[in-house]
Chains A and B, each alone.
Chain A
Amino acid sequence: MDSMLSLEKVTHYFGGLKAVSNFNLELPDGALYGLIGPNGAGKTTIFNLITGIYTPTEGSIKLMNESIIRKKPYQIVHMGIARTFQNLRIFGSLSVLDNIRISRHYTVGKSKHTGNRKHKESSDLVQTNLFDSFFRTRNYLKAERQITDEAIDLLKLIKLDDVMHEQAKSLPYGKLRKLEIARALATHPSVLLLDEPAAGMNPAEIGELMDLIHFIRDNFKITILLIEHHMKVVMGICEYIKVIDFGETIAEGKPVEVANNPRVIEAYLGKEEGKCS
């Protein structure tokens, strides 16, 4: 199978600290992979490298065989990679609906990078520019309606439509996590990166989240890479897991293989029992 996202020999330094070392990843189309490791292992840094927040010191990152290195973060989003954040970054004082509608924004701007996107079928929005919005042209009104309708549809699918007019920051924590996932989905990504989506959730919410992730993968046909500390989530839904520690890949394989790997038990389970329950 073709690989959707591939990282080759990616290394990243923060000053003298080697946060990511010689990291390789071949993420097949439609896969659901997990990325685990103890605190400070370099997981979030890998997401930051993929999304263009940092440029790797060495190595290559390709989305569908096209290099994304040195592209701006927003360009990488246009190419089809979306993410959530370990520490929530919602647009707090805007409505839930607006949080989603902002993601649909880029399709109305000019983007050179939408050409080779895989999942563009449903969303070829009408193009509008500043002139259109100043003068509220017919184009503009049509595009706005399209954006709003699409956002409402997505919220219905994710079951957040009952709160769509609420101010985002008034939502409980579990729903905020969901909103961030929905907001990422609204950019119509080919690859979705989830950074500890279960953090701060109670067991019931975690169960729902696992269903949601499966639902997204199957319904949106999206390739997913997941960082998670909750072993129940990772072991329960990931097909393949990579384990890193101090920036180095220490193990990889199917969930059972990884769970029984002595190096993983030592580096991860041994030291951080509390987190893995």
Chain B
Amino acid sequence: MGKKIFFISRRMLLFVAGALGMLLLVLFFNATGIFTDYIVQIINISLINVILAVSLNLINGFTGQFSIGHMGFAAVGAYTSATVTTLIAKVTPRLPYTEFININGYIVFILALLLGGIVAAGIGFLIGFPSLRLKGDYLAIITLGFGEIIRTIFNNIDYVGGPRGLLGIPKFSNLIMIFVITLLSVIAIRNLVFSTHGRALLSIRENELASELVGVNTVRYKITAFTIGAFFAGIAGGLQAHLLQIAHPTQYGFLYSILVLIMVYAGGMGSITGSIIAAFALTFLSEGLRTALPGLGDLMHVKIGDEWRMVVYSLLLIIIMLFRTEVLMGMREMKLLVPEEEEHHGQHA
């Protein structure tokens, strides 16, 4: 019906080209040994965290809600997709006994990933529907509870490994796969926030009552944003499970949710660019702390456990909250992410 699609504009093409350039650089550095596989792994995790941060930003930064259990949706996506690939379809990236890539396996993986996103979105809708209809900060409490409940549930389902976790997940996620999916997710969310619907979300953040009284169905929009955010978190969870080859209840704890929250607030509420930068910075910082903290402990002849990362994160979060939104990008956006037609008009100009 003449629905010509302009998913990618000229400027977006430049953004994609730039991102592709960086990907090639990483691949090149990896091939020549400048980047070890460990570094590439951290980049993989950073890219997945970009999806998590940008999708949480849609809920917290753009729409002004306060969700703090984002990893709960990642857990749903991870367990759902991994159940499909590992327990039901039993596919692997390579054909058994050969070196050939298993195309069918990848198709199953992509479908499983989407299913993970859809199930996470469905649960997001079920949670968002009652809590976002009410005024007030019910969402924070409910998402916090949800994050813990979902872990307890997976911890007690034997079929998915219970407390041992779901092991032996095939490694479908690699740098290129993760890169492409992250890029698509970022573009999709960018296209949304720079549209009339995105402006409706922003108006809810700015003043909910006024938003309703210029004709925005605020309840519906809040639920929509929350559901879309949950969808992308589910996708991220699925990607991660097929990268780390394990889905374990402890992977999706409050600590991780807080880390994603810091990425959103540090990068800037309502800035996709900020979330991308912060996701990379904090993933590297977090990895650094993982090795630095025990090292520091050895120096001081005390044992510093991993739980101290929690203390660092919490301090970071408090500091960032005190500085409010103006940390990295504020609400600004890099030019390549601003649609041409919005160049001068929009809130991000």
**How close is B198's CB to chain A, nearest CB, in angstroms?**
7
Contact of A133 among B9, B192, B211, B331 (CB under 8 A): B192
**How close is B22's CB to chain A, nearest CB, in angstroms?**
24
- Using CB atoms, name the residue of chain B closest to A145: B341
Asked if A102 and B209 make an inter-chain contact with CB atoms under 8 angstroms apart, the answer reads no
**How close is A267's CB to chain B, nearest CB, in angstroms?**
30
Contacts of A83 in B (CB 8 A): 213
Given contacts A91-B207, A94-B206, A136-B191, contact A141 B6 (CB under 8 A): yes
Asked if B345 and A130 make an inter-chain contact with CB atoms under 8 angstroms apart, the answer reads no
Chain B 319-349 interface 0/1 with A at a Cβ cutoff of 8 Å (1 = within): 0000000000001000000010100111101
For residue B300, CB closer than 8 A to chain A, the reply is: no
Contacts of B5 in A (CB 8 A): 135-137
- Using CB atoms, name the residue of chain A closest to B200: A105
Interface size class of A (residues with CB under 8 A): 35 or more
Given contacts A85-B210, A91-B203, A106-B215, contact A137 B345 (CB under 8 A): no
For residue A67, CB closer than 8 A to chain B, the reply is: no
Contact of A72 among B203, B211, B217 (CB under 8 A): B217
For residue A144, CB closer than 8 A to chain B, the reply is: yes
Measured in the bound complex, the distance between the Cα atoms of B217 and A183 in whole Å is 16
Given contacts A74-B215, A94-B203, A148-B345, contact A137 B3 (CB under 8 A): yes
Asked if B9 and A77 make an inter-chain contact with CB atoms under 8 angstroms apart, the answer reads no
Chain A 135-155 interface 0/1 with B at a Cβ cutoff of 8 Å (1 = within): 111111101110110000000
For residue A90, CB closer than 8 A to chain B, the reply is: yes
Measured in the bound complex, the distance between the Cα atoms of B202 and A18 in whole Å is 36
For residue B218, CB closer than 8 A to chain A, the reply is: yes
Asked if B197 and A95 make an inter-chain contact with CB atoms under 8 angstroms apart, the answer reads no
Asked if B207 and A77 make an inter-chain contact with CB atoms under 8 angstroms apart, the answer reads no
Measured in the bound complex, the distance between the Cα atoms of B346 and A95 in whole Å is 6
For residue A165, CB closer than 8 A to chain B, the reply is: yes
Contact of A147 among B196, B212, B213, B347 (CB under 8 A): B196
Asked if A82 and B214 make an inter-chain contact with CB atoms under 8 angstroms apart, the answer reads yes
Contact of A89 among B188, B196, B210 (CB under 8 A): B210
Measured in the bound complex, the distance between the Cα atoms of B4 and A105 in whole Å is 22
For residue A37, CB closer than 8 A to chain B, the reply is: no
Give the one of A104, A140, A143 with max B CB within 10 A.
A140
Asked if B215 and A105 make an inter-chain contact with CB atoms under 8 angstroms apart, the answer reads yes
Asked if A137 and B4 make an inter-chain contact with CB atoms under 8 angstroms apart, the answer reads yes
Measured in the bound complex, the distance between the Cα atoms of B207 and A103 in whole Å is 13
Contact of B213 among A74, A94, A139, A144 (CB under 8 A): A74
For residue B224, CB closer than 8 A to chain A, the reply is: yes
Chain B 184-206 interface 0/1 with A at a Cβ cutoff of 8 Å (1 = within): 00001001100111111011001
For residue B100, CB closer than 8 A to chain A, the reply is: no
For residue B304, CB closer than 8 A to chain A, the reply is: no
For residue B97, CB closer than 8 A to chain A, the reply is: no
Contacts of A82 in B (CB 8 A): 213-214
Asked if B196 and A128 make an inter-chain contact with CB atoms under 8 angstroms apart, the answer reads yes
Contacts of B196 in A (CB 8 A): 101, 104-105, 108, 128, 133, 143-144, 147
**How close is A227's CB to chain B, nearest CB, in angstroms?**
15
For residue B7, CB closer than 8 A to chain A, the reply is: yes
Of all A-B residue pairs in the complex, the 6 with the closest CB atoms, nearest first, are A133-B195, A106-B215, A91-B206, A89-B210, A77-B215, A136-B6
